[in-house]
């Protein structure tokens, strides 16, 4: 994960969320190039390889980031605010869905070029859904984290940040 050098937990969380959003914007742009039909065969192969690499990187970074959230932040937030348990469960569920969709997208790139072309509309639809899902998820998480973390003493946020960085 692209790690921010900030020492403030809220800034780090926002930075990582922005990074994941940017990754999926880039992935979406790549898939638009692939499905547009305007790339020659050599360029298309290069773009497909880039898309595969980007999806692999996105999945690795999401898994790492989601693990940090689920093992550090969600646990701490639920201890402090048990009334937010349903919200936290919903966010964790969204993590699973985003990872599953990212894996599905990556699997599509292992198909024949004809199969990729035949599934182009479906792939584009899933990429668009992922971008929207990640955007909405980020908004919901930032709202939750900000409301809880802003009320936490700075020294406690520093401890959580250190714990997050150990994972």
Whether the pLDDT of residue 126 is over 90: the answer is: yes
Question: Measuring CA to CA, how many Å separate 124 from each of 21, 34, 144?
Answer: 17, 10, 30
Distances 129 to 28, 96, 102 between C-alpha atoms, Å: 10, 14, 11
- Kindly report each contact of residues 82-88 with a partner whose C-beta sits within 8 Å and lies 24 or more positions away, as own/partner: 84/144, 84/148, 87/140, 87/144, 88/144
Per-residue pLDDT reduced to its tens digit, 53-100:
999 999 999 999 999 999 998 998 999 899 999 999 999 999 999 999
State the pLDDT confidence band at 7, using cuts at 50, 70 and 90.
Answer: low
């Amino acid at each position: 994960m692209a790690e921010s050098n900030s020492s403030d937990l809220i800034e780090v969380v926002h930075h990582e969320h922005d990074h994941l959003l940017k990754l999926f914007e880039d992935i979406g742009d790549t898939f638009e190039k692939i499905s547009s039909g305007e790339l020659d065969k050599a360029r298309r192969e290069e773009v497909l390889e880039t898309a595969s690499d980007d999806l692999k990187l996105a999945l690795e970074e999401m898994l790492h980031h989601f693990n940090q959230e689920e093992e550090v932040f969600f646990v701490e937030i639920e201890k402090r605010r048990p009334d937010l348990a349903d919200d936290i469960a919903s966010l964790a569920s969204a993590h699973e869905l985003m990872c599953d969709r990212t894996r599905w997208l990556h699997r599509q790139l292992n198909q024949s070029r004809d199969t990729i072309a035949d599934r182009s509309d479906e792939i584009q639809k899933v990429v668009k859904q992922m971008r929207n899902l990640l955007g909405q998820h980020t908004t919901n998480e930032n709202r939750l984290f900000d409301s809880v973390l802003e009320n936490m003493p700075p020294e406690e946020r520093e401890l959580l940040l250190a714990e997050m960085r150990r994972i």
